[in-house]
Amino acid sequence: MPLDRVMEPRPASGVPRHFLDLDQFDAAELRGMIEQAKAYKRGEGLDVRPLDGKILAMIFEKPSTRTRVSFESGMKRLGGEVVILNGADMQIDRGETVADTARVLSRYVDCIMIRTFEHSTLQELAEYATVPVINGLTDRTHPCQLMADVMAFEEHRGPVKDRVIAWSGDGNNMAASWIQAAVKFGFQLRIACPEELRPPADVLAWAQAQGGRIEVSSNPQAMVRGADAVVTDTWVSMGDEDTNRHNLLAPFQVDRHLMAAAKPDAVFMHCLPAHRGEEVTAEVIDGPQSIVWDEAENRMHSQMAILSWCLSETP
C-alpha cells in the first residue's frame, strides 16, 4: 500500500461519540449511562458480550491504579480487549503530534482513553481521532470519576437531585467535575476551599449561567452544615507543585468535627488515592460514613456504561 494511503482519512460514519466532559452532555444521556451502569452492576446484559471484538487503547501520561484496572476489567467483562500505552514509551514523547497519534491509533483500535496533563491534549486527540475518545483525567477534569460517584451516592442515599453535596479542599480537577455534575444532575454543591485554590473561574461562570446551585467559600463548617455528603481529594494532585499547599489546605481537612456539621447520615466521599492525616483523617475515611470503596468499585460499572455508549452505533 502506498504510504500516502495510510494517512487518508477513513470514511467517517458520523462524529465519534466522545466522552470528554459532563458539561457537553444532555442530563438525560448521563442519567441513561448511570442506569446502564446500575444494570451492569446487577450483572444484566453481560452474557451477550456487547463489545465482543472491540479494542480499547489506553494512554497514560500519569500514574493510575483504579482507572487502568477498572477500564481493563470492564472492557473484558463486556467481551472486548485493551492495549495499554505508557505515554513515556510512545513517539508522542519524542515529538510526534497528538493529531498524528490520534489518526494512527484510530486505524488500529475502536476507542481511545487518555489520562494526560493539559486538557488541550485530550481535545486535540478527540478532534483528530475517528474513534471515540474518553477523558481518563486531565489537569482540568475527571468526569469518569463523577459518574461512579453519583452512582455510589445514590446507592446509599437515594436520588442525588436537590441534595446538598459539600466539598472541602483543593478546587482541583475533581472539584471542576463536581461542579459540572451539580448542573447536570441537579444537586446543590457547596465548595469550601482556600481563596488561592478556587476552581477555574470559567467552570464556575458556566455553572452560574446554567442556573447551577454552586456556592464557594473559605469556611468549611459553613459549607458542610446540613450536607448529605462531604467530599474531598488529595491536596497535591498529579503534576502540582507542592509549594504552600499543605499550609493552605490544613483548615479544610475532613475530620470528625467537620463530619459532625453534616447530616447525621451524611456519607464521606473521596476519589482515591487518599492521604490519611492530610485531606482526611483515618477515622473518617475508615469509618462507617465512608463510601469510598463503593466509589472505587463503581468506576468499573460506570465505565462499562460509558464504553457501551461510546461504541454504540447511533450517534
What is the set of active-site residues?
115, 142, 145, 233, 271, 299
Q: Is the bond into 273 cis (omega within 30 degrees of 0)?
A: yes
Residue carrying the nine cell digits 463510601: 291
Interacting residue with ligand CP among 145, 172, 177, 302 (CB under 6 A): 145
Minimum distance of ligand CP from residue 44's CB (angstroms): 25
- By C-alpha distance, which of 157, 109, 150 is closest to 133? 109
Work out the number of other CB atoms within 10 angstroms of the CB of residue 106: 22
Tell me the residue number closest to ligand NVA, measured at CB.
Answer: 237
**116 contact, one of ligand NVA, ligand CP, none, CB 5-8 Å limit per kind:** none
Distance CA 56, CA 83 (A): 6
Choosing among ligand NVA, ligand CP, none, which partner's interface includes residue 65 (Cβ < 5 to 8 Å by kind)?
ligand CP
Nearer to ligand NVA, 67 or 308 (CB): 67
Q: What number of chain residues touch ligand NVA (CB under 6 A)?
A: 10
Instruction: Determine, following the binding rule CB under 6 A, whether residue 271 of this chain makes contact with ligand NVA.
Output: yes
Query: CB-based contacts of 201: which residues, under 8 Å, 6+ apart?
Result: none
Residues in CB range of 87: below 8 A, 6 or more apart = 59, 60, 61, 93, 116
Q: Name the one range near ligand CP by CB under 6 A: 11-19, 38-46, 100-108, 266-274.
A: 266-274
Indicate the helix (H) or strand (E) that contains 214.
strand 214-217
Sequence-separated (6 or more) residues with CB below 8 Å from residue 166 = 189, 190, 191, 192, 223, 224, 227, 229, 230, 231, 262
CA-angle at 11, arms to 309 and 84, nearest 5°: 50
Grid cell 445514590 — which residue? 154
Cβ-based nearer residue to ligand NVA, 188 or 237: 237
Candidate list 172, 290, 298, 308; residue touching ligand NVA; CB under 6 A:
172
Contact with ligand CP (CB under 6 A) among 84, 236, 248, 272: 272
Query: Using CB atoms, what's the residue nearest to ligand CP?
Result: 67
Of 58, 165, 174, 224, the one binding ligand NVA by CB under 6 A: 174
Site for ligand CP in 41-70 (CB under 6 A): 64-67
Instruction: Indicate the residue among 70 and 106 with the shorter CB distance to ligand CP.
Output: 70
Residue 73 interacts with ligand CP (CB under 6 A): yes or no: no
Grid cell, residue 118, equals 493539559
- Least Å from the CB of residue 295 to ligand CP: 8
User: 65-68: long-range contacts (C-beta < 8 A, 24 or more apart)?
Assistant: 65/273, 66/272, 66/296, 66/299, 67/113, 67/115, 67/136, 67/137, 67/144, 67/299
For ligand NVA, the binding residues (CB under 6 A) are: 137, 142, 172-174, 233-234, 237-238, 271
For ligand CP, the binding residues (CB under 6 A) are: 64-67, 137, 145, 271-273
